[in-house]
């Protein structure tokens, strides 16, 4: 459920018409709903009510400070993958004791920053990383609390580019080497082993891969305890999908039942890293129709939003439902069209032969389920400014990231002295 719906013949975000925001902010722009963010967090965290658990929002899904702060006020922790994301989480008010640091390529200075602020846990992805973290912690006179991310070699049955739990993926340490790796790490100075971490992929719509992975983790925890390791934390990652194309994924409650069936009696703190599930349906991308072009074989609806604003369709063949801001009437003509942007790439295509209400130049459309991996993956390709982000709360809104001017973009470049004509 989200809080974008038709009222009085037009699409609203909570109690505000999106057309009104478009008139004042300009298009394209991202719009996030506070009520949806809050509801999704509460539904997910509620699946583990009464359980020793920590819900760490995956900042990479949407790193806007206003979004993170909205979740921080509800008690969320954070899963971060860079010093920049760690600083965002802290700036938004998330205590370091609720932050886990993931990612395969942590640099020594990032480790140092995490140790200085006192984060909850480093999710270590390789033996070389463990050795570098040991060196950094020892030099600083600190102890790094870690969990190794274990690759369970489980097929998540999701898109190849967002599958992370198979043996061929770059993430985690090999399942078959876990005993030796933990034994070697236990000898490293400045390292305290406290947990096990697993994350098999993103946008999963089937519980079976989760069940397979979690049961493997359960067996692993029991094995590691027999081998003398004090395992008190189990990070089960994230990855539960959202209904982009109408496919209804499992509910957080069903997911929670699978997790608790495997790990509920293990005497550990369970850590979860939902991202897309929290923010995906809490955001839309609003765009204006520039032209409607009749091609030789098909119709093209050309928008002012482009692949640099929303890369998922081009990168992942991602589907986003497209709504017109004006509510279609019963006699509105529906016809197929390719929905494209103005970037000079054939890949700048949002949808092919999509059945849509007939639109004209100046009409507005909204890409649904755009709150995750939308603005956060945007670029200035073709020297197009990053689009603004807006947060709605009831009948009020705020611009939570401004649209930069072209002058500001140009000012980021520096011409060397030998090219200076002055």
Residues marked active site are found at: 344
Q: Which two tokens stand for residue 140?
A: 């600083």
Q: How far apart are CA 332 and CA 350, in angstroms?
A: 22
Beta bridge partners of 287: 365
CA 359 to chain CA centroid, Å, is 31
Phi, psi of 347 (to 5 degrees): -70, -10
Distance CA 73, CA 386 (A): 27
Environment class of 240 (CB within 10 Å of its CB; exposed 0-12, middle 13-18, buried 19+): buried
Q: Distance (Å, rounded) from C-alpha 314 to C-alpha 147?
A: 35
Residue carrying the six token digits 């990168």: 315
Q: Is 132 helix (H, G, I), strand (E, B) or coil?
A: helix
C-alpha span between 171 and 302 (Å, rounded): 39
Give the Cα separation of 406 and 12 in Å (integer): 30
Instruction: Determine the angle formed by the axes of helices 252-263 and 207-226, rounding to 10 degrees.
Output: 20
Helix H or strand E segment including 173: strand 173-174
Q: Tell me the CA end-to-end span of the chain in Å, nearest whole number.
A: 59
Residue 175 has what DSSP assignment?
G
Residue from 4, 30, 32 nearest 17 by CA: 4
CA atoms within 13 A on the CB side of 254: 11
């Amino acid at each position: 459920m989200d809080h974008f719906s038709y009222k009085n013949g037009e699409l609203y975000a909570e109690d505000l018409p999106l057309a009104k925001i478009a008139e004042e902010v300009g298009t394209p722009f991202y719009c996030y709903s506070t009520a949806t963010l809050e509801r999704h967090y509460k539904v997910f965290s509620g699946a583990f009510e009464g359980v020793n658990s920590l819900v760490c929002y995956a900042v990479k899904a949407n790193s806007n400070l206003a979004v993170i702060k909205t979740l921080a006020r509800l008690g969320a922790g954070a899963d971060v993958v860079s010093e920049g994301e760690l600083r965002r989480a802290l700036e938004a008010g998330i205590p370091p004791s609720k932050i886990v640091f993931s990612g395969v390529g942590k640099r020594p200075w990032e480790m140092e920053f995490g140790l200085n602020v006192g984060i909850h846990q480093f999710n270590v992805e390789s033996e070389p990383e463990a050795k570098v973290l040991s060196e950094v912690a020892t030099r600083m006179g600190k102890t790094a609390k870690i969990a190794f991310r274990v690759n369970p070699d489980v097929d998540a049955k999701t898109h190849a580019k967002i599958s992370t739990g198979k043996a061929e993926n770059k993430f985690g340490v090999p399942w078959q080497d876990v005993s030796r790796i933990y034994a070697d790490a236990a000898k490293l100075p400045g390292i305290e082993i406290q947990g096990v971490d697993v994350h098999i992929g993103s946008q999963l719509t089937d519980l079976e891969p989760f069940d397979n992975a979690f049961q493997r983790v359960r067996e692993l925890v029991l094995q590691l305890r027999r081998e003398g390791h004090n395992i008190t934390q189990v990070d089960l990652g994230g990855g539960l999908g959202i209904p982009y194309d109408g496919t209804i994924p499992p509910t957080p409650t069903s997911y929670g039942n699978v997790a608790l069936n495997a790990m509920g009696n293990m005497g550990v703190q369970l850590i979860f890293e939902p991202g897309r599930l929290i923010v995906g349906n809490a955001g839309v991308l609003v765009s204006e129709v520039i032209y409607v072009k009749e091609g030789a074989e098909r119709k093209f609806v050309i928008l002012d939003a482009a692949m640099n604003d929303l890369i998922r369709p081009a990168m992942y063949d991602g589907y986003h439902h497209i709504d017109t801001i004006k509510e279609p009437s019963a006699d509105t003509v529906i016809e197929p069209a390719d929905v494209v942007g103005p970037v000079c790439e054939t890949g700048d295509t949002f949808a092919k032969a999509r059945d849509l209400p007939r639109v004209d130049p100046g009409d507005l459309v909204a890409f649904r389920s755009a709150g995750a991996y939308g603005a956060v993956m945007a670029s200035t390709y073709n020297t197009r400014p990053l689009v603004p982000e807006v947060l709605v709360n009831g009948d009020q809104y705020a611009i939570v990231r401004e649209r930069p001017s072209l002058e500001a973009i140009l000012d980021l470049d520096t011409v060397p002295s030998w090219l200076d004509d002055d």
